[in-house]
Amino acid sequence: MKPARTPDQQRPMRADARRNYDRLVATARVAFQEQGADASLDDIAKRAGVGSGTLYRHFPHRDALLAAVIGDSIDALHARSRELLATDDPAAALEAWMRATITHAGTYRGLAATLMSSMYDEGSPLHSSCKRAHAAGAELLKRAQESDRVRPEVDAADLFRLITAVAWAAEQSPESEDTAERLLPLVFDGLRTTGTARQARQAKPAPQD
Amino acid sequence: MKPARTPDQQRPMRADARRNYDRLVATARVAFQEQGADASLDDIAKRAGVGSGTLYRHFPHRDALLAAVIGDSIDALHARSRELLATDDPAAALEAWMRATITHAGTYRGLAATLMSSMYDEGSPLHSSCKRAHAAGAELLKRAQESDRVRPEVDAADLFRLITAVAWAAEQSPESEDTAERLLPLVFDGLRTTGTARQARQAKPAPQD
DNA sequence: ACCTGAACACCGTTCAAGT
DNA sequence: ACCTGAACACCGTTCAAGT
Give the model confidence (pLDDT) of A117-158 as tens digits: 999 999 999 999 999 999 999 999 999 999 999 999 999 999
Is A19 among the domain residues? yes
Is A53 among the domain residues? yes
Average pLDDT, integer, range B64-80:
98
B113–A172 C-beta distance less than 8 A: yes
Domain that includes residue B26, residue range: 12-60
Cα(B180)–Cα(B186) distance, integer angstroms: 10
CATH number, domain with residue A22: 1.10.10.60
Report whether A23 contacts A52 (CB < 8 A): no
* A60 Cβ nearer than 7 Å to chain C strand: yes
Q: Is the pLDDT of residue A50 over 50?
A: yes
In terms of domains, do B44 and B114 share one? no
In terms of domains, do A142 and A182 share one? yes
Give the model confidence (pLDDT) of B87-102 as tens digits: 999 999 999 999 999 9
Instruction: Give the relative orientation of helices B111-119 and B62-85 as an angle to the nearest 10 degrees.
Output: 80
Report which of B140, B120, B139, B118 is spatially closest to residue B129, judged by C-alpha positions.
Answer: B118
In terms of domains, do B40 and B126 share one? no
Give the model confidence (pLDDT) of A86-126 as tens digits: 999 999 999 999 999 999 999 999 999 999 999 999 999 99
Q: Is the pLDDT of residue B82 over 90?
A: yes
In terms of domains, do B74 and B172 share one? yes
List CB contacts (< 8 A) between B191 and chain A.
186, 190
Is B48 among the domain residues? yes
Report which of A116, A122, A132 is spatially closest to residue A81, judged by C-alpha positions.
Answer: A132
Residue B9 is predicted with a pLDDT of: 52
Is A208 among the domain residues? no
Say yes or no: A154 contacts chain B, CB-CB below 8 A: yes
pLDDT band at B195 (very low <50, low <70, confident <90, very high): low
Is A206 among the domain residues? no
Residue A198 is predicted with a pLDDT of: 47
Is B197 among the domain residues? yes
Say yes or no: A202 contacts chain B, CB-CB below 8 A: no
Q: Is the pLDDT of residue A168 over 80?
A: yes
In terms of domains, do A122 and A139 share one? yes
CATH number, domain with residue A74: 1.10.357.10
In terms of domains, do A108 and A126 share one? yes
Q: Is the pLDDT of residue A197 over 70?
A: no
* A56 Cβ nearer than 7 Å to chain C strand: yes
With 0.75 as the threshold, say if the pTM is over it.
yes
Instruction: Give the relative orientation of helices B156-171 and A156-171 as an angle to the nearest 10 degrees.
Output: 120
Is B35 among the domain residues? yes
Report whether A188 contacts A98 (CB < 8 A): yes
Cα(A187)–Cα(A175) distance, integer angstroms: 21
Q: Is the pLDDT of residue B119 over 90?
A: yes
| Min Cα separation B167/chain A (Å) | 9
In terms of domains, do A46 and A135 share one? no
In terms of domains, do A39 and A107 share one? no
Average pLDDT score over chain B: 91
Three state DSSP letters for chain B: CCCCCCCCCCCCCCHHHHHHHHHHHHHHHHHHHHHCCCCCHHHHHHHCCCCHHHHHHHCCCHHHHHHHHHHHHHHHHHHHHHHHHCCCCHHHHHHHHHHHHHHHHCCCCCHHHHHHHHHCCCCCCCHHHHHHHHHHHHHHHHHHHHCCCECCCCCHHHHHHHHHHHHHHHHCCCCCCCHHHHHHHHHHHHHECCHHHHHHHHCCCCCCC
In terms of domains, do B101 and B51 share one? no
In terms of domains, do B125 and B190 share one? yes
B196–A176 C-beta distance less than 8 A: no
Give the model confidence (pLDDT) of B174-191 as tens digits: 888 899 999 999 999 999
Shortest CA distance from A160: residue in chain B: B169
> To the nearest whole percent, how much of chain B has pLDDT over 70?
88
Q: Is the pLDDT of residue A177 over 90?
A: no
A–B CB contacts, 8 A cutoff, strictly below: 95
Span CA (A75) to C1' (D8), Å: 39
Structural domain count, chain B? 2
Listed range (A191-200, B115-124, B137-146, B195-204) with the worst mean pLDDT: B195-204
In terms of domains, do B41 and B124 share one? no
Is B5 among the domain residues? no
Report whether A154 contacts A141 (CB < 8 A): yes
Residue A207 is predicted with a pLDDT of: 41
Q: How far is CA B181 from CA A30, B73, B122, B184, in A?
A: 39, 20, 31, 6
Cα(B203)–Cα(A156) distance, integer angstroms: 38
> To the nearest whole percent, how much of chain A has pLDDT over 70?
88
A161–B165 C-beta distance less than 8 A: no
* A53 Cβ nearer than 7 Å to chain D strand: yes
Chain C bases having any atom below 7 Å from a protein CB: 1-7, 10-16
In terms of domains, do A196 and A126 share one? yes
